[in-house]
Chains A and B, each alone.
Chain A
Amino acid sequence: MSPQDNARHIALFCKALYAFLLFKILYLWPLVGDVLDYKPFTYNSNLGYLLFAPLVLTKINTELFLGGFALLLVASVIIRVNYISAFIICWFSISLSRLFLPIINGSDLVLNLFLIVAIALPLYPKLPFKNSDQIQKVTSNVALLFAQIQFALIYLLSGYDKLLSASWRSGAAIDSINNLTFFHNPFITFHLNEVVCIVLSWSVIVFEMGFGFLIWVKKFRIPLLVMGILFHLVIAVVLGLVDFALVMMICYGVYLPFKKDMSDTDTVLIR
């Protein structure tokens, strides 16, 4: 695989994350006043000052922070993916999550993790030292491999937790989701009997556990990604977890670029 292909793929993945973040800002914007009334943001430590420094803007005007961040994201989607914008976006995103702390969910945690990894993904600007080209490519590939490992581990963690849970093993968890208010789309009602609940529950466990291992085997990769997209589309429509489903589907992009077998570490690290 040529380095150019990889650069294009990295750009697409990073820009998809930025576009998702922009979408998130737009739907969170109307709530910022209520969130700050409920839990106002204050700096509690020196580490907090450093980590959430962009939130200084909210002391002047909250709209300034959100608007500035939105403009930065629009610009970053247009311009070439680079270290500087990747770092600033990651920093602002962590700050955004802190600002909206009472309503953050799994999608924010996954998004921030991958934005951190995305700092090391770009190949631009070229650094001015000997062998920098080679080092930048290797760093980028290591970051991509790390992203793939993390994503597989997230599924493994989720699947293993469900495997340990009696209510997931018995299918009762599916029944709970189907019957409790605020857990599913009120316009889609299913009457699921116990057998269907067990089948669905074990399908989720097997998929999540299987993803962590089988994604590294070339012949299973595309079928798993297709199943994953269907799985997350169902989550988006039936459970209403649109943001979580979107970020997970975007992150599938980390598995797409390599034509050679990803389980061969040398292929990833040494080109």
Chain B
Amino acid sequence: MTFSMKKILGVVVILLAIHVFTSIIFIIFPSIPTNTVITKGYKRYLLPGPFFTESRITDSYTLLLSWKADSKWSPAINPVLDNYTNSFSKLNLSLLVRSSLERDMYEKAILKIDTSSIAPSEMRGVQYLRSYMMRYGPSSADSTKFLFVRSTTANFETSVDTVQTLTF
């Protein structure tokens, strides 16, 4: 190995040591703001995670759908949960991801909706619910009801409450 190669390797070892030290700082002090290119790069790309953080495993939202036809309300269905369950029984990862996508869609859509007065900015959420009904409900329904339910677990206790009831 040539002398210049040894020098280059020395520099590489020093750079790796600096990188490890910097990463450990980011690990020990997770509240360091990510407002610069370096901090953002480190926290987002070089140190992916942490996974399964406390905030991600506290709440779970479900969207129940029911419709009225011939003056009768149908039993509530939960197609997103059905997709989730079927993904395991059919070993179909596409269904699992679809369930994840739809949860993201309805959580973001419905949590924005203020039922007292639906402002134009909330129309996207309403449009989403209409498309949800068109996908999973019958086209002949007179009315549609959405029940948005939150399950929360904390300190070994689980509670369930209805966040929104929307009827169209």
Contacts and interface: CB of A to CB of B under 8 A. Distances in A.
Given A157-B26, A240-B87, 15 more contacts: A27-B93, A31-B98, A105-B100, A106-B48, A113-B48, A131-B2, A160-B27, A161-B30, A161-B50, A164-B30, A165-B54, A175-B153, A177-B57, A180-B60, A181-B84
B99 interface: yes
Contacts of B81: 181-182
A270 interface: yes
Contact of B97 (A27, A154, A194, A244): A27
Contacts of B151: 179-181
Contacts, number: 155
Contact of B88 (A103, A170, A181, A185): A185
B156 A197 contact: yes
Interface residues of A, number: 63
Interface residues on B, range: 35 or more
Given A134-B5, A138-B5, A181-B81, A176 B57 contact: yes
Interface stretch (B65-73, B101-109, B110-118, B137-145): B101-109
A142 interface: yes
A172 interface: yes
6 contacts: A28-B94, A135-B5, A157-B27, A158-B49, A167-B154, A168-B54
Interface of B: 1-2, 5, 8-9, 12-13, 16, 19-20, 23-24, 26-28, 30, 44-54, 57-60, 62, 81, 84-85, 87-89, 92-94, 96-101, 103-105, 151, 153-156, 158
Given A28-B97, A153-B27, A154-B47, A172 B104 contact: no
Contact of B48 (A110, A138, A145): A110
A158 B5 contact: no
B107 to A, nearest CB: 11
Which of B1, B44, B154, B156 has its CB near the most chain A CB atoms (within 10 A)?
Answer: B156
